[in-house]
Structure 1
Amino acid sequence: MKLPTACCILLTGCFSYQEVTLKGITDVSIEQMDQNGVSAQVTVRVDNPNAFRIRVGDPDVDLFLNDSPIGKASIDSTVVLEKRTEREYVVPLRASFNGGGLPAMGALLSAAFGGKVRVKASGTVTARALLLRKKIPFEAEHELDLGR
């Protein structure tokens, strides 16, 4: 009877999870854009204080341009967060525009005259590590300079 209890206590300690923190978006590089969406490389700074690597994928992300909703985003591949590190990760992103892309393209064109646009992403991603699986909510903003 003591052995199963000891095993449960030991395994619980091994699977102790600390919150992963999205510190922010440090860069956005647009690869391709058309009326249906945009492909980009987004560099994010993430802190993983855990003693194990975490695989991040399966996003449910809403995108906003100057506070106007423009569509949904998906990532092209799973991102692996290294254990006990705070570092930058490049995330390949594909965004699909709402309404055939006209609202988003209009917002981008009007923002182009101002030179800068505020991009916001909010939603959840699924994190997997060992036997754990957890949806992690996040929200991040980045000012994109369209003149560069």
Structure 2
Amino acid sequence: MTRLIKKWGFLLLLLFIFSACSYENVEFKEAENFHLKKIEGRNLSISFDAILNNPNGYNLKIKPSVFDLYINDSHVGIIKLDERIKIVKRSESTVAVPVTAEVLQGALPKLLAGALKKTATVRIVGKVKGKVSIFPASKKIDETREIPLRDLDFGGFPF
């Protein structure tokens, strides 16, 4: 009987702890310092800095995740987060984000036509995977941003 009470007590304690945890969305403020690092076939290695605000009282860890990539309303491929990212609790911080974009066959002409404009509309859609402490978490995202193309650093690639 005491085992049963201990098990139920432990379960109730866990439920209380989880119900006490509140989560506020991390605010994506801005992306800057885009760098094209490498081109290999249809894969582009890119890095940028993301300015994020984490209002939560705990750090968040983002795991490598995969997203659909749209540029100027055209699906051009997928983008993969290459490394884990840590978002510090109760702070606005700049986080380096390394990604690999895998461009769909036939999407390159769309990209080149878009490069002639002053800005590009970039949209990523998918599920971001992460961890809060030891607990796994995931969240669907659908983010759209205007990126000024004059700020892009092509790393010496002849475009």
Structure 2 segments unaligned to the other structure (5+ residues): 153-159
Q: Which residue of 1 aligns with 2:24?
A: 18
Query: What displacement does 1:13 show?
Result: 6.2
Residue-pair matches, total:
145
| Aligned-partner SS, 1:110 | helix
Distance 2:80 2:88 in 1: 21
CA RMSD of aligned residues (A): 2.7
Query: What displacement does 1:146 show?
Result: 5.0
User: Residue 19 and residue 116 in structure 1: after superposition, are their counterparts in 2 closer, same or farther (change >3 A)?
Assistant: closer
Distance 1:33 1:23 in 2: 28
Larger Rg: 2
Q: Which residue of 2 aligns with 1:96?
A: 102
| Aligned-partner SS, 2:131 | strand
Q: Which residue of 2 aligns with 1:56?
A: 62
| Aligned-partner SS, 2:63 | strand
Distance 1:147 1:141 in 2: 14
Between the aligned residues of both structures, percent identity stands at 20
Q: Which residue of 1 aligns with 2:146?
A: 142
Is the contact made by 1:117 and 1:146 (CA closer than 8 Å) also made in structure 2?
Answer: no
User: Residue type of the partner of 1:44?
Assistant: A
Query: What displacement does 1:89 show?
Result: 0.9
Query: What displacement does 1:74 show?
Result: 0.8
Is the contact made by 2:46 and 2:98 (CA closer than 8 Å) also made in structure 1?
Answer: yes
User: Residue 8 and residue 123 in structure 1: after superposition, are their counterparts in 2 closer, same or farther (change >3 A)?
Assistant: closer
Q: Which residue of 2 aligns with 1:109?
A: 112
Structure 1 segments unaligned to the other structure (5+ residues): none
TM-score calculated relative to the size of structure 1:
0.79
Of the three residues 125, 130, 135, the one matched with 2:128 is 125
TM-score calculated relative to the size of structure 2:
0.75
| Aligned-partner SS, 2:109 | helix
Of the three residues 38, 44, 48, the one matched with 2:44 is 38
Is the contact made by 2:119 and 2:147 (CA closer than 8 Å) also made in structure 1?
Answer: yes
| Aligned-partner SS, 1:83 | coil
Q: Deviations over 1:40-92 (max 9, x none)?
A: 11221222112211110232311111110011111111000111112221100
